């Protein structure tokens, strides 16, 4: 009989510990290299799954009993059963890990960008389903609680529903086969100037005419004379030369050997039904035009401006007189005040400054009447009717309301998303609304007064950088007797979101009846 040796027993115990540690290290190595639990083909044994479940349940019980503010047991169980592994993605539907492959040279790579895009698309579809399922009655019933203390336009915004419009031309054909890029309504919103991308390069542009019926429907007709150009349209504004909105001012960016230009075109040019078509009223070549604006002040009612790279050009459309201002940055946004002849400019540097047209003779920088700054490139500016306040949006997604008198922001509208796109903002003061379409293709509406986010409308099409919706909002789409609502152009489709009180009154009556029955 062999005598028991204490040291031999210790060595045996250490060997067992060493083998156990070796097995654990090999398991971890298999996981890191895609041959363990992280590998799609890996399936744990029944005993291993039982041990994992027991471990998960014990850790969940411990976490729930140790702290009342911790996550729910289901969350702890999920995180324990599917821990995060660097370089791998766990699909809860398939209950397995997948390797995240960098680059695009692999066969069917799975990247973080693809996963984020998939999640965004899932969220967009979910919001679309919610918009279609929700009814006005439900919204009004929810907002009929005693705590409801918002303005009536917030209820209207909640009740806006999407309707697709069929665009017809003179010959009863559907002409819009190219993706919309920009739509801009005139002052009465009877007409909308459109710019569409052309598949072979460049763009085409024309005018759509809107009309409304007594039954509350909106019809749209495309003009029969479209213009094509191999240059990109960067900025548009309506101009009043002979009468309100008689012309359209375009900034065209040069491409290849074709230089850029600024053109002032009569709106009658886009209809073959007018036999007396005037030619191009004004056009001059420039390197790069980022923005344009038309002055409606009676003292300078034939003056327009163009924002260039480190320059601002003022031009009189009748006399041809030109004034050039040198600035330190690219001018991406412009807007004239109405009561005083002052032009506000937003720059790539984030600076916002104004030019008083009555001080044209000054050669130094003293013509800058006011100056203030945001943190990123300014993409759009809008002056309120009070003219003491200015709205500015930048490429960080910030939208701020500035008091021009003290050059300080007094309000900020949060939720807008922008990283590098050239995106406008839209304001409807009679309804107290601010609208902006983000680079994520969501259209957001805020209360202009208190910056409250009222509605987020997803795009009807999957989000893409070249499919960002363009919108127009008016209280009278189709003229003075038109319909209130939102126009949305995305891809080659046009949508109408009604903003009226007809169905609201019906919904209120139904909600009241439901409350009485309850």
Of the pLDDT bands very low, low, confident and very high (cuts 50, 70, 90), residue 67 is very low
> Where is mean pLDDT largest: 29-33, 369-373, 392-396?
392-396
- Considering the chain, what percentage of its residues have pLDDT values greater than 70? 69
> Where is mean pLDDT largest: 170-179, 210-219, 233-242?
233-242
Is position 96 within any domain?
no
Which are the contacts of 358, defined by CB distance < 8 A and separation ≥ 6? 299, 341
For the chain, give me the number of helices (H) and strands (E)?
7, 30
> Where in the sequence is the domain holding 219, given as residue range(s)?
148-509
Is the pLDDT at 228 greater than 70, yes or no?
yes
Mean pLDDT over 341-359 rounds to 93
Is the pLDDT at 83 greater than 60, yes or no?
yes
Alpha helices in 378-465 (DSSP H): none
* The model's pTM: 0.73
Is position 185 within any domain?
yes
Is the pLDDT at 398 greater than 80, yes or no?
yes
Of the pLDDT bands very low, low, confident and very high (cuts 50, 70, 90), residue 133 is low
Mean pLDDT over 393-421 rounds to 95
Mean pLDDT over 104-113 rounds to 57
Structure tokens given for 90: 């766990």
Is position 289 within any domain?
yes
Please name the helix (run of DSSP H) or strand (run of DSSP E) that holds residue 74, with its range, or none: helix 73-81
Each residue's pLDDT tens digit, 409-455: 999 999 999 999 999 999 999 889 999 999 999 999 999 999 999 99
**What is the widest separation between alpha-carbon atoms in the chain?**
124
Question: What pLDDT is stored for residue 506 in this prediction?
Answer: 39
**Which residue reads 């918009």 in tokens?**
131
Is the pLDDT at 261 greater than 90, yes or no?
no
Question: What pLDDT is stored for residue 95 in this prediction?
Answer: 79
Which are the contacts of 275, defined by CB distance < 8 A and separation ≥ 6? none
Is position 143 within any domain?
no
Of the pLDDT bands very low, low, confident and very high (cuts 50, 70, 90), residue 281 is low
Question: What pLDDT is stored for residue 442 in this prediction?
Answer: 95
Is position 323 within any domain?
yes
Each residue's pLDDT tens digit, 1-54: 445 455 555 556 566 666 666 666 555 555 444 443 334 334 444 555 555 554
Selected residue with higher pLDDT from 43 and 382: 382
| Residues 250 and 233 sit within 8 Å (Cβ to Cβ) | yes
Mean pLDDT over 372-398 rounds to 96
Which are the contacts of 430, defined by CB distance < 8 A and separation ≥ 6? 475
- Considering the chain, what percentage of its residues have pLDDT values greater than 90? 39
Question: What pLDDT is stored for residue 85 in this prediction?
Answer: 76
Q: Worst-scoring range by mean pLDDT, 184-193, 341-350, 351-360?
A: 351-360
CATH number of the domain where residue 224 is located: 2.130.10.10
Q: What is the mean pLDDT of the chain?
A: 77
Q: How far are the Cα atoms of 122, 123, 128, 318, 443 from residue 117, in angstroms, in the given order? A: 9, 10, 16, 51, 18
Is position 380 within any domain?
yes
Question: What pLDDT is stored for residue 389 in this prediction?
Answer: 97
Any long-range contacts for 60-66 (C-beta under 8 Å, 24+ apart)? none
Question: What pLDDT is stored for residue 62 in this prediction?
Answer: 38
Each residue's pLDDT tens digit, 310-335: 999 999 988 888 999 989 999 999 99
Is position 1 within any domain?
no
DSSP 8-state code for residue 2: P
**168 burial type by CB count under 10 A (0-12 exposed, 13-18 middle, 19+ buried):** middle
Is position 40 within any domain?
no
**Alpha-carbon distance 317 to 438, whole Å?**
34
Burial call 257-269: b when 16+ CB within 10 Å, e when fewer: eeebbbbbbbbbb
Question: What pLDDT is stored for residue 411 in this prediction?
Answer: 96
Domain count for the chain: 1
Query: For the chain, what percentages of helix, strand and coil (3-state, to nearest 5) are there?
Result: 25, 35, 40
């Amino acid at each position: 009989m062999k005598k028991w040796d204490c040291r031999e027993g210790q060595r045996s115990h250490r060997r067992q510990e060493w083998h156990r540690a070796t097995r654990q290290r090999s398991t971890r190595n298999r996981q890191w290299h895609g041959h363990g639990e992280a590998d799609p083909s890996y399936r744990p044994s029944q005993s291993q799954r039982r041990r994992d479940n027991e471990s998960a349940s014990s850790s969940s019980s411990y976490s729930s009993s140790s702290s009342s503010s911790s996550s729910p047991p289901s969350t702890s169980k999920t995180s324990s059963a599917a821990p995060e592994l660097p370089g791998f993605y766990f699909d809860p539907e398939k209950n397995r890990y997948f390797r995240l492959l960098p680059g695009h040279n692999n066969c069917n790579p799975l990247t973080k960008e693809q996963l984020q895009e998939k999640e965004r698309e899932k969220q967009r579809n979910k919001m679309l389903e919610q918009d279609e399922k929700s009814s006005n009655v439900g919204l009004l019933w929810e907002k009929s609680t005693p705590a409801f203390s918002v303005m009536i336009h917030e209820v209207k915004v909640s009740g806006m529903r999407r309707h697709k419009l069929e665009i017809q031309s003179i010959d009863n054909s559907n002409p819009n086969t190219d993706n919309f890029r920009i739509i801009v309504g005139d002052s009465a919103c009877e007409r909308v100037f459109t710019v569409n991308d052309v598949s072979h390069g460049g763009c085409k542009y024309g005018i759509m005419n809107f009309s409304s019926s007594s039954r509350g429907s909106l019809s749209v007709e495309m003009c029969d004379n479209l213009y094509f150009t191999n240059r990109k349209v960067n900025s548009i504004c309506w101009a009043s030369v002979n009468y309100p909105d008689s012309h359209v001012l375009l900034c065209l960016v040069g491409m290849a050997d074709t230089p850029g230009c600024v053109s002032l075109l009569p709106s009658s040019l886009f209809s073959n039904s007018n036999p007396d078509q005037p030619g191009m009223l004004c056009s001059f070549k420039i390197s790069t035009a980022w923005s344009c604006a038309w002055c409606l002040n009676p003292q300078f009612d034939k003056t327009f401006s163009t924002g260039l790279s480190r320059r601002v050009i003022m031009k009189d459309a009748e006399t041809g007189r030109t004034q050039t201002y040198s600035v330190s940055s690219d001018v991406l946004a412009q807007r004239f005040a109405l009561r005083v002849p002052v032009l506000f400019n937003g720059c790539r540097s984030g600076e916002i400054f104004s030019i008083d047209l009555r001080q044209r003779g000054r050669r130094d920088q003293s013509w800058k009447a006011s100056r203030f700054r945001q943190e990123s490139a300014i993409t759009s500016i809008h002056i309120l009717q009070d003219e003491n306040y200015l709205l500015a949006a930048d490429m960080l997604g910030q939208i701020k309301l500035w008091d021009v008198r003290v050059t300080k922001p007094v309000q900020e509208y949060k939720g807008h998303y922008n990283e590098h796109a050239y995106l406008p903002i839209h304001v409807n003061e009679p309804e107290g609304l601010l609208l902006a379409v983000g680079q994520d293709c969501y259209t957001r509406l805020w209360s202009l007064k208190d910056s409250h986010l009222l509605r987020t409308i997803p795009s009807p099409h999957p989000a893409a950088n070249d499919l960002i919706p363009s919108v127009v909002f008016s209280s009278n789409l189709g003229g003075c007797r038109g319909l209130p609502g939102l126009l949305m152009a995305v891809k080659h489709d046009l949508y109408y979101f009604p903003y009226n009180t007809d169905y609201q009154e019906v919904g209120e009556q139904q909600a009241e009846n439901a409350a009485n029955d309850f």
